[in-house]
Amino acid sequence: MQISRRSFLKLSGATTLSVMLADLGFDLSQASAQVRGFKIKSAKATPTICPYCSVGCGILIYNENGKLVNAEGDPDHPINQGSLCSKGAAVYQLHENERRLKKPLYRAPGSDKWEEKDWEWMIEKIAERAKKTRDANFTVKETVTVPQTGQAADIVVNRTEAIGCLGGAALDNEECYLLQKLMRGMGLVYIEHQARI
Ligand code: SF4
């Protein structure tokens, strides 16, 4: 960051004044809380849950005219009572980030470049490949030894070991329920969750 001589003097003056006021016993935290209050005064607050981990801290998202202006810990939330860890405190940049991907990217087998695709194309492609892999690697029956008799028997297993599923902390309860239901329906046995590993 470039600082001119003029802005350097202004900054030093402001810092010195703050230190002097603090030395004189003025509580500056209230003043800075008030300045922040002004910034979000006309913004609409929407409560949400931090997507990063299973602690599930509450966050207030502020938007003004459709634009995200602030995100901070929800003081009324029973889990975090207004506090956030460093990841949660940086949640603002999940939305306001020039590097954020807004469209699915696809890299064809053997290709060295990514292509933008729409969701419809992408979901179709994922479904097609998941089905193909599952069907080509599906086990209907397995021969096992029955412990009671010591004899071999064929049992129905209806499973595939060719696909694994890893859930993420950004999924809520209902999404996790639906996801595992779909995966078990397809015969997957390797079903894990990021918060458990
Ligand atoms: S703020 Fe930190 S501890 Fe709380 S849910 Fe987010 S990542 Fe987890």
**Using CA atoms, how far apart are residues 48 and 65, in angstroms rounded to an integer?**
19
Task: Give the model's pLDDT for residue 41.
Answer: 79
87 lines ligand 1 (CB under 6 A): yes
Task: Give the model's pLDDT for residue 190.
Answer: 96
Q: Which atom of ligand 1 is nearest to the CA of 86?
A: 2
3-state secondary structure of 66: coil
Minimal CA–CA distance to 74: which of 86, 87, 62, 63? Answer: 62
Q: How far is the CA of 195 from the centre of ligand 1 (A)?
A: 12
What are 127-172's pLDDT values in tens digits? Answer: 999 999 999 999 999 999 999 999 999 999 999 999 999 988 777 7
Overall fold of domain 41-100: Phosphorylase Kinase; domain 1 (3.30.200)
What's the predicted TM-score (pTM) here? 0.60
141 lines ligand 1 (CB under 6 A): no
The domain locations on the chain are 1-39, 41-100, 103-132, 137-197
Sheet containing 152-167: give its strands across: 138-145, 152-167, 188-193
**Using CA atoms, how far apart are residues 142 and 127, in angstroms rounded to an integer?**
27
List of the chain residues with pLDDT < 70: 1-38, 196-197
**Using CA atoms, how far apart are residues 2 and 148, in angstroms rounded to an integer?**
80
* Minimal-distance CA residue to ligand 1 atom 4: 57
Task: Give the model's pLDDT for residue 51.
Answer: 83
